[in-house]
Amino acid sequence: MKMSLKSEKLDQLGMTASIACAIHCAALPFLIGTLPLLGLSFLADSWVEITMICLSLAIGVYSLSVSYPKHKKKIPLIVLIAGFVLIGAGHYLAEDLEAVLIPLGGFTIAAAHLINWRYSRNCSHTN
């Protein structure tokens, strides 16, 4: 039960971090001119994006590794990897599609957490 609660909170944190990352990446091109006026120019720095990606990666890997032994489903891991592939492709392979691929990757990572959370909840009811 304690592991279930821990996994549930990690998935909630992962969904929140991934959605925040996706929103940040989607909105930044539109807001970049107004950020200095609002005192938020630091949001355009690359360290913010790298920090968000690393945080999402750490939470995702840990959350899925904690709950995998319980539900033994590989789909959340596959979706998580697909999300990071989209982010990587947006940064390094298709820079002209960066504004689409990176937010899509963030929402895909959030979907991985949602799927993992649902599998974990279903397992806790059957045990």
What does the alpha-carbon distance between residue 77 and residue 97 come to, in Å, rounded to a whole number?
Answer: 24
DSSP secondary structure, 42-110, as one string = GGGSHHHHHHHHHHHHHHHHHHHHHHHHHH--SHHHHHHHHHHHHHHIIIII-GGGHHHHHHHHHHHHH
pLDDT confidence of residue 110? 87
Q: What is the pTM of this model?
A: 0.71
pLDDT confidence of residue 20? 75
Residues composing the chain: 127
Host domain of residue 58: 2-126
pLDDT averaged per 10 residues, the chain (length 127): 60 76 68 63 70 84 87 93 93 86 88 89 61
Domain count, the chain: 1
